[in-house]
Amino acid sequence: MTDDSLATTLDRVRVYPIKSLDGVDVDAATLADGGGLAPDREFALLDADGDYVNGKNERRIHRVRADIDLDARMVGLDAPRDDDAPAAATFHLDDDRTGIETWLTEFLDYDVSMVGERAGGYPDDTELTGPTVISLGTLRVVASWYDGVSVDSMRRRLRANVELATREPFAEDRLVGELGERVRFRVDDTDLLGVNPCQRCVVPSRDPDTGAETDGFRTRFVERRRETMPPWSGGGRFDHYFRLMVNTVVPESSVGGTLRVGDDVRLVGTESA
């Protein structure tokens, strides 16, 4: 495996400050102690039983629009596609959590709380906590599998943190090794370790604005993923074809490092886990 087999740049960095709500594009983000990008998944929404209120468990959460200003620490909440939603309102992320909880409770018609005390936030994968990676080429080709699904819609369905500029479909699969291996890659002067092709849930099959299911999404995805799998993909990590995007871990030496849009990305090599 050589540097030339990837050789691209970072095209986009996106964080999701409130787990399950809209993301925010940033020019740069720092790798926090937990391994994720600060402030990715800094907060999470819970129901009365302590379960996540997210796209997997609550289809209506897709209808909520969250306009987040990270510098001001403010979030505007609205649900413009829902006639019964509460009026749009803006809240401080730290000082008005009660207001956020009240708005979401009224919208969903059951008690919602927002938590934000866990070190490292609330990542989807609590073992592979590093930023998730996909390429622009992948987003374009996967969106083309479905009528009426734009590249940005697919981006919002898949919810990656880091987007590579390469137009080569499935370039991110180069960051996945065999079982027992990790692939070290370097973003400018910061190392990350690619581990797993991300197992997808129901969320990508839903319209990110309405929550409506795209008919036959998973069946079509599996068929086309199998047919278009490039020679560098596959292996023991691909135990099925409903996998897309790469989960990573952050070496201790890279904590505190910064990922910036425009940074060079290159492979370093494969190593034992």
- Taking only the tens place, the pLDDT of each residue in 41-88 is 999 999 999 999 999 999 999 999 999 999 999 999 999 999 999 999
Q: Could you report the per-residue pLDDT of 245-273, keeping only the tens digit for each?
A: 999 999 999 999 999 999 999 999 999 98
Q: Percent of the chain having pLDDT more than 90?
A: 92
Cα–Cα distance for residue pair 249/123, rounded to 1 Å: 12
Cα–Cα distance for residue pair 115/101, rounded to 1 Å: 10
Which CA distances in Å does 217 have to 19, 34, 223, 227, 242?
A: 23, 33, 10, 15, 11
Residue 3 or 180, more confident: 180
pLDDT bracket for residue 10 (50, 70, 90): very high
pLDDT bracket for residue 4 (50, 70, 90): low
Structure tokens at 251: 């070496």
Which CA distances in Å does 166 have to 68, 98, 140?
A: 28, 43, 11
| CB 226 within 8 Å of CB 145 | no
Cα–Cα distance for residue pair 41/18, rounded to 1 Å: 5
CB count in 10 Å sphere of residue 35: 22
Asked whether the predicted pLDDT for residue 2 surpasses 80, the reply is no
pLDDT bracket for residue 114 (50, 70, 90): very high
Q: Could you report the per-residue pLDDT of 13-46, keeping only the tens digit for each?
A: 999 999 999 999 999 999 999 889 999 999 999 9
- DSSP label of 131: P
Q: What is this structure's pTM?
A: 0.95
Rounded mean pLDDT, 92-97? 97
Which CA distances in Å does 175 have to 15, 77, 82, 267?
A: 21, 36, 41, 8
Task: Flag the least confident range among 1-15, 43-57, 107-121.
Answer: 1-15
Asked whether the predicted pLDDT for residue 122 surpasses 90, the reply is yes
Cα–Cα distance for residue pair 208/66, rounded to 1 Å: 12
Cα–Cα distance for residue pair 172/133, rounded to 1 Å: 7
Instruction: For each of the domains in the chain, give its residue range(s) and CATH number, in order of start.
Output: 3-38+121-272 (2.40.33.20), 44-115 (no CATH)
Asked whether the predicted pLDDT for residue 3 surpasses 80, the reply is no
Asked whether the predicted pLDDT for residue 1 surpasses 80, the reply is no
What is the overall mean pLDDT for the chain? 95
Count Cβ atoms within 10 A of the Cβ of residue 254 and give its class: 0-12 exposed, 13-18 middle, 19 or more buried. Answer: buried
What angle in degrees, to the nearest 10, is found between the helix axes of 136-143 and 217-228? 120
- DSSP label of 54: S
Q: Could you report the per-residue pLDDT of 220-251, keeping only the tens digit for each?
A: 999 999 999 999 998 889 999 999 999 999 99
